[in-house]
Chain A
Amino acid sequence: MGRLAGKIAAISGENSVSRAVAALCQQEGASVMTLAGGDEAAWDSAFANIISKHGRVDLVVNAAHRCMRTPIAQQNAQQFMSVFDEIGETAWLCQKYAIMAMRRSASGVVINVSSVLARVAAPGCAALCAADRGVLMSTKSAALECAKAKDNIIVSAILAGRIEGDPAHWPDGSLLPNAPIVTPEDVASGVLFLATDGAAYMTGVELPVDGGFLAS
């Protein structure tokens, strides 16, 4: 029997990581739904649809991501905000409506997929680093709110390493070329660990899946 048997999972993003997470959740027995966000009303109705169909949502994985690599001097505010919004605002909205939906059943797990750029900066990555760090700290803040409200909702983050061949998650191979290459499936395994019942005493944590990149 799968480790997510009977669970209702919803996954945001259209990229290699969201696909790998969806495939693994399905393999472990969860019913998997795709979250297509948008403005606040769109997120609200996305979760309302899941609740009306399944009565609850147990696992929400926010894997939406986008990369841009441009030196600050050549960036305009609009470009900065486009990356910051797509990563940070999407994570915030996904998390907000996930928590509201989970409070109805007083349980759930929210996992945000950030990256090692939340901890290590690189040239040309001002927007990306700020957004990934923003997702991480917003994860921790939400985790503390949920823990203190005693509503049995866990919120944690994965810091994905260098994923090759998916510009939504890593701009290109020339960024931090010494970083070990990890696969979307490696990231999905980390998500599965944080989503299982055995990890219930973990919240507000960051789990790097980076082949040891952050150790040096």
Chain B
Amino acid sequence: MRQLSDKIALVTGGTSGLGRATVIALAEAGARVVFTGRNIAGAEETLKRLAAKNLSSRFIQQDVTQEADWSRVMADVLAAEGRLDLLVNNSGVSRLKPVEALTLEDLRFLTSVNVLGMFLGIKHAFMAMERNAGKRGSIVNISALNALRGSPNSTAYAIAKGGTTNLARAAALEGRQDGRAIRVNAIHPGVLFEEGDKPSPGAIALYGEEGAKAFVRSNIETTPMGRLGHPRDIGAAVVFLASDESVQVTGTEITVDGGRSAGEFATHHGVRSQK
């Protein structure tokens, strides 16, 4: 029997990168997966990649910062699937800029998606999971190493991801109260690249073409394992947290970072923002 046979999972931001890899990993482990996001073209790509593996899923459009969207998505999942066993709060955004270049709008955007979006997800998942047998459920917040350590150009991101991780810890304690067995954990990925070592548009905007290449090189050099992660490297951790094998794992972070945070925190000191 596969690890997640009979589990019902909901993944936010399943329309690209890590979320898409998570949808695929959960479906491969036997879960029935519903995923959400804003980007319809991205959703079609996720469904196409699932179909290529003879797997399926269902997409619902959602803005995670809107509570009405959460009510609608949960009602849909509960009506169609009967219950919810796993929520992966994956939708997240990043804007890397020096502190003096960050605007209040940047900060509000990052905290609304990374913190408010995940808070609403946890709230609505708790309400759904309380109806499960044994009031059981599992929630995973995709966070970042920036939750616990600092790095340049990421003051707003640090606030947001610090919130993502500590939100999981606080919710985990409530998840054990009142006869509930709802587990809440965070995952801390290292530096992930989906398409080989090609710099992201965000890195190019911040550092310029050449600077972005240097940024990627320095991230490889500062990762003890000597390679960047791929979104699929996170899959096993999500499957473990979704499964009954992790019933006593809650309120913690699972770090999947090629060794980056085991020692000196490797920041890209050699690369200066152009802004």
| Chain A residues packing against B (C-beta within 8 Å) | 140-141, 143-144, 147-148, 150, 161, 180, 182-183, 186, 189-190, 192-193, 196, 198-205, 207-216
Contacts and interface: CB of A to CB of B under 8 A. Distances in A.
B247 interface: yes
A183 B249 CA distance: 12
Interface residues of B, number: 35
Interface in B45-74: none
19 contacts: A144-B259, A147-B224, A147-B226, A147-B258, A161-B248, A189-B245, A190-B249, A196-B236, A202-B254, A202-B256, A203-B258, A203-B259, A204-B263, A205-B255, A209-B249, A210-B248, A212-B183, A212-B250, A216-B251
- Consensus secondary structure, chain A interface: mixed
Given A189-B246, A216-B173, 10 more contacts: A144-B224, A147-B259, A186-B249, A193-B246, A208-B252, A212-B175, A212-B183, A215-B172, A215-B251, A215-B252
Nearest to A161: B248
Pick the 4 closest A-B CB pairs, nearest first: A215-B251, A198-B236, A204-B262, A147-B224
A193 B229 contact: no
Contacts of A199: 236-237, 256
Given A193-B245, A198-B236, A201-B256, A150 B262 contact: no
A161 B251 CA distance: 13
Contacts of B235: 198
B90 to A, nearest CB: 17
B225 interface: yes
A211 B255 CA distance: 18
A143 B259 contact: yes
A186 B247 contact: yes
A41 to B, nearest CB: 30
A203 B255 CA distance: 9
A79 to B, nearest CB: 31
Contacts of B233: 200-201
B243 to A, nearest CB: 9
Given A147-B259, A203-B224, A203-B225, A193 B252 contact: no
B31 interface: no
A125 to B, nearest CB: 21
Contacts of B224: 143-144, 147-148, 203-204
B130 interface: no
B265 interface: no
Contacts of A196: 236
A198 B254 CA distance: 13
A19 B257 CA distance: 30
Interface string B256-270: 111101110000000
B249 to A, nearest CB: 6
A87 B251 CA distance: 26
B254 A207 contact: yes
Most buried by A among B252, B257, B261: B252
Contacts of B262: 140, 143-144, 203-205
A202 B255 contact: yes
Contact of B263 (A140, A182, A186): A140
A204 B249 contact: no
Contact of A209 (B175, B248, B263): B248
A192 B249 CA distance: 14
B244 to A, nearest CB: 9
Interface-central residue, A144, A148, A202, by most chain B CB under 10 Å: A202
A210 to B, nearest CB: 7
